[in-house]
Structures are given as structure tokens and as C-alpha cells.
Chains A and B, each alone.
Chain A
Amino acid sequence: MFSRDRWSEIFETISKNKLRTFLSGFTVALGIFIFIILFGLGNGLKNTFQEFFLDDASNAIFLNPGRTSMPYKGFKSNRRIEFKNEDLDDIRQNFSLFTEYITPRISRSALTKYKNQSNSYSTRGVAPGHQFIEKTIIMKGRYLNQTDIEERRKSAVIGRLVAKDLFKDEDPIGKYIDIGSSAFKVIGVFQDEGGDNEERNIYIPYTTRQLMEKSTDRVDQIVVTFPKELGHAGAVAFEASLKKYFKDKKSIDPRDPNGIYFRNLTDDLKRSQQFAVVLQLIVSIVGLGTLIAGIIGISNIMVFVVKERTKELGIRKAIGATPKSVIQMILQESIFITALSGYLGLFLGIVVLKNVGLRLEDYFIKNPFIDMSTAIAATLILIVFGAIAGYIPAKRAARIKPIVALRDE
């Protein structure tokens, strides 16, 4: 296998049969190249999907007030339900075992100014627990804390893009910004995996927001997180008892489908995960299909190559080549070519994937990649099948009598 003489004989054959070498090499390189590109893009699609749907905490239930659609206990239908601050405390007290964080969320859009820069951003009045629900990552400064809430401070945590828009290169921490005509001190800058829109938010204490709105204690929305250990079934049960509690408290007919709305993220998570599985399946099928096409391609070429060489093999046998040496020659040649071009295709595919990766984010493909082990395994599979595809006709060619092979014109 490693005799220098045999290798030089093979190099000679390869270099003097350029078309043949090119054809088989090209097939393998192309096969691997396409496999890597498609698989990588598929992974990119998966990444985008995960970013879109799996960014927030999955162990959260969103409680939204609505309007009743049935009369109940002397109340007319079409009554507006509202959440108050006391509801937060009630949840904390009655469901202490099932809750981790409880936060209200009061969203308002407000014109925000700093010096002569201004823009309209969404401002969310929240409690400190909100950080864990949105998976907010603090880049600079700090998040809101309990003191901010209790003292109704005018503190603001701004998104990365808000800081970029308003402050340019300036350090925003400790500066005052004008939100809807009130001055807020910037105490932190955050980033969020959820993308650009999330990073254009401003978080302020919900109590401050309530103060600004004539000291109301109304809350738009309540978000509750529960311990992950509850699991999907536990979460559904918790949601049901929470709903029952609130319908009772707010005097809503238990059969009324409106009144209050709950959104349980575990349901979303379960659906998302199912979709992710389907996506993975599609990516795998595409990859497998490409690989099979590649295998068929290289097999065809190998059969053609051996057929084309029948006469040459006959000559070689007539002047003393053993069947073993004939098979060995063909195999060594094909493995050499496929390994080399497979590596080339692998390399090119990864380079292209790296380079196009950043430009495809607009097309919902983020950070396309292929893990090395998959890429190398695919290359090896093609090489092995190329060798098998060469071995079968080579074996047949080595077995036919030289006299028959010589007659082959």
C-alpha cells in the first residue's frame, strides 16, 4: 500500500488521465460541497427558529385581563376586568409553592429624548423578576431592584439599541433621559437574544409608571413563572387553578371563555419543540438525499472508469499484472482521488458557509454551520462508497481473461 513505486505509478496514471480524474474528483467534491452547504443552511434556519421562539423563559404564564361575555353574580356582561397591585400579592401568598417570579407589565410607547436625539420607544413598567422572564442580559450598570420599586424611583434600564441611538459613543450610565416629559436616570444597559426589537425597549419600575398615571394601581398584564420541575402537566394544572382563583376573585362566570386570558409558554414550548424536531428531520433528509445523490454519482463514474480501462487492464494482465494488483491499483487510485477531492469539497463548503453566513440573516438563516464530525463522516461515507463502487467493477475486470479484455475495443 505504501510502496513508493506504486504511488508513482498511480500519480502518473492520474496526471495523464486528467478528464477521468477531474470527473470523479469533481463528483465527490461537489457532493460534499452541496451537502455541507445545505446542511449548514438548514442548521441556520434552525438557529433562527430557536432565536424566534425559544428566546424567552419557557416556564412562564401570562395573565391578560379582558372583557366578560356572560353576566354573573349580578354583574352584566361586557364588563372590563382589571388587575391591581393587590392581585400580585394574592398570587404570591396563595401560590407560593408554585411561583418563582411575579411581575406586572405595563407597556406604553413614549417619545424619549437625550440632548438633541429623540425617538419613540416602548417603555415597560415591570418588577425586578421580569429580568428572568425575558432573559435580559445586563451589559452595563444594573437591572431594576426592589428599592426602585418601593421608592418609585425614576430609574430606567435601556436596551442596547436605545443606547446606540441616543447616546452614540457616550456612556449612558448615570445620564438623564426624558421619557414622556419626565427625567429618568439610566441605571443600566441590556441586551437580549430576542433580537433588535427587544433591544429597543426601556424598563422602568412599574410603580413609577403608576405614579405617572395619577397614582393608579392598575396593572396591564401579570407574568408568573413557575419552577421548571413542575413539568408540562404540572404547569397546565397550575394554570388551571390560577384561572379558577382569578375567575372567582373577579366574579367571572367559570364558563366564560373571555374575561381573562392566560398564555402558558409551556404549550408554546412544546409546539416549538415539535416544530424544531420536524425542521431537524427536514435538514437530515436533505442531507441524506444529497449524500445518496453523491454516492450514485461517484458509483456511476467508477463503473464508467473501469469500463473505459478494460483494455488497459487486459494489457496489464497480459504482461504480468496479477488480479490483486489490478484491483489494488484501481482502489488506491479512486480512494486517493475521492479523499483528496472530498477534503477539497469539505474545505470549500465550510469556507463558503462561513462567508455567506452573515449575509443571510435577512433570509431567516442565522449563523449557518455544520459540526466537523458530521462533515467528516459525510466525506468518509462518500470515500467508502466510492471505493466500494470502484471495487465491484474492478474485481470483475480483474477476473475477465486478458484475451477477452484485449478484444474490447
Chain B
Amino acid sequence: MKPAVIVENLGKRYSRYHRDRPRTIMEAALAGFRKMGVEESFWALREVTFNVMPGQMVGVVGHNGAGKSTLLQILSGIVGPDEGNVEIIGRMGALLDLGAGFHPDLTGRENAHISAVVGGLTRKEAERRFDSIVEFAEIGAFIDNPLRTYSAGMQMRLGFAVAIHTTPDVLFVDEYLSVGDLAFQNKCLDRILDLKNNGCAIVLISHNAEQVQELCDQAIWLEQGRLKAYGDPEVVAGRYAGKMEAISGQPKTRTYSQQVEIRQVEFGQSEGQLEINSGDPLSIDITYDAHQGFDRITIGLSISDIDGQIYFNTNSGTVGLDIPAPMGLGKVNLRIDRLDLPGGDYFVNVGLYAPDWSETYDYHWNEHPFSISWTPEEQSLLNPPKQWQIISLSTPAIETTSTQS
């Protein structure tokens, strides 16, 4: 089967014009047609490559300005790419700016007809599907009233109903789930999934990582116009969600009860940020302050990078350690004998929990940084102790070993 959407090494460059670029003929003439040129340009999208098969839904996540909307505009053929190729096979439809093309003075019926034809149906096809559109939009007898008498919700519903009835082969969706009430949203979702099951390829733009994980077959994470990650939605959207937490910066502590509070997390070193070598031990002292007394608490600890990828995760519960927390201060040490991670910047994250995980007392996320230095030029996620050895050579053997710890 051939993909319905093929995007290959796509790049889009936008021009930034002079700040005082003339906006009118009069100004341009006065300026002697100077300042009309491009001052600088930047890549809104670069080196983006992916495919969508018929019947597949691809979710695109990324924060504002990452290039999501630009991608959608290029896919729809509204703006042309500056680099690479885009190929779309079949009729396109879009769920964006729902009802924006409606005219307030025309009736719902007239607007729906125009909209359906603009959306790619012939008049005959539009006529045939009209009853179904009205029924779906739950407009009923209002269909012959001018659109200006409609509520915003009714306009959106009608817009959605028309768009979804054009039965496209390729559908672009931009944050559609803001249409109407929950019941209508579910109806829309069902209809979208219907299309998907009938072989429609869907590109969904979303801020909502959970939605992407739930609905999509593939996920794309765009960051500053580049493909940050592409693949399984669980992983991609999950990492994206993790990063969003890191960026929003505010540690989760605020929302926790703080019945037991993390007072200090130390690496047993007096000042400056800790830097260790790959394979060195890491010792972490955790000081907590119980404002209420508990028989036992569980301490969780993880090591993650700036993207929110967790490399290591452990808790005191797995080894059956009982940590009592009577009122007042307590101090616990965790010693990791070897930390065989590659070089980079990491965070130690610490959480205090009830032993049955029913409650989180306190949690520090991305608050305790340290770094690992590592010299070899190797792309690796793990750096265990290793040893190369030459077992035999055809020439008289010379004992050669090279060791690295």
C-alpha cells in the first residue's frame, strides 16, 4: 500500500522583513521602494520527514512556535515548501477554523451548501448529504435562519458537520476537541475514527500529549522546526509531556501536602555543582522534615535529563527498607556504586510517599542538577566497565589488552 502523505526532508523558510517595511503604496513611494527586501530569514521547518498510511492517524505535538501550524499549511498546499518534497494522494479535508468561512447574513442552509462545495463536493454530492449534515449538527429547524442568529456552538457544530461530511482521503485536524459540549465532542471523535477506519489518513495537531497517546498510531514531536522525535506515540508524546513539565519549571512541590518535606538533597560535597566521571559512585543525602509523624515512608529517587527522559529509578520500598518518620528531621543516604551513564547534564529527582503510594508528601523534580563527564566520542546510553581483548592473530601473538574502566 502506498502512503497517503509522504513528507521528505521538508523545509520552510520564512522571511523577516524590515521593521519599517512599507505597508502601503504611498509609504513605499515615499521610501523610494527601499526597505522592501528581506532582512533575514529563518527556517520555520527543516529536515522533516515522515509518512502517513491510509487509515493511520499521526499526532503532531510541540509547543507554540515549533512549526506545527506551518506544517499543516504546507501539507494543505496553502504555502509551498522551500526544500524537500510533499506528496498527498487523494482529496483533502480540514478541521480548522470551523465555520470561519460562514457569512452571517446567509442562512445555515446556504452557508452549509457553499462550505460543502468549497470543501470539495460537487453540488449534487452536497445535496445528497445535506440531511445527514443537518442531523449531525443538531441544528434542526434553525437551518433556514440566518447564521447571525446562531450561537457560537451551533456555528461550530455546523462547520464541523460540513467538514466531516466531505469524506476526505486525507484529513488535517487542528485541536478539534473544542467543539461543543462533551457529548458532541465524543460524537465528533467517533466520526473521525469512522473516517480513519475507512482508510482516511489523518494528521492531528495537538497540545495534548494524552490525546495523542490515546488516538494516534504515530507521533511527531516538533521542536524549533525540527523533528525532535518520531515514532510510537506512547514514547514520543510521553517524552514531550515530561519535557513540558521541565520547562514549565515550577516543581510539582507546590501541589503536594508537605506533611513530610524534603529539606535538603546533597551530594556530599561542599560547594559548586557536582561533576563526576562516568562510572564513578554517587552518594546522595536526603534530609526530610516531618511536620506530622508517620510510622513509615517510602523515598523514591530517579535520575533524568533535561528532556525528562528517566534513566534510573529506584525506591526504598523495593528493598523492603522501613524509613520511620517521627516528627522532626531525618536523614537518609543512597549510595549508587557505579553510575554508568554517558556524559551530560542530569537531575536527581526525589519524592516522599506513603508506603502504599496512596499519597505523595513531597516531590522535587529537576531541582538537583549534576553532570557527568565522559571523554570518548561514542553515542551511547550506557557506559558499563568493559574490556577489549585480541584472542588470536595469524602472526605470532603478542599479548595485547586495553582496559578502560
Say whether A associates with B: no
- Hey, which bits of chain B sit against chain A, CB under 8 A? none
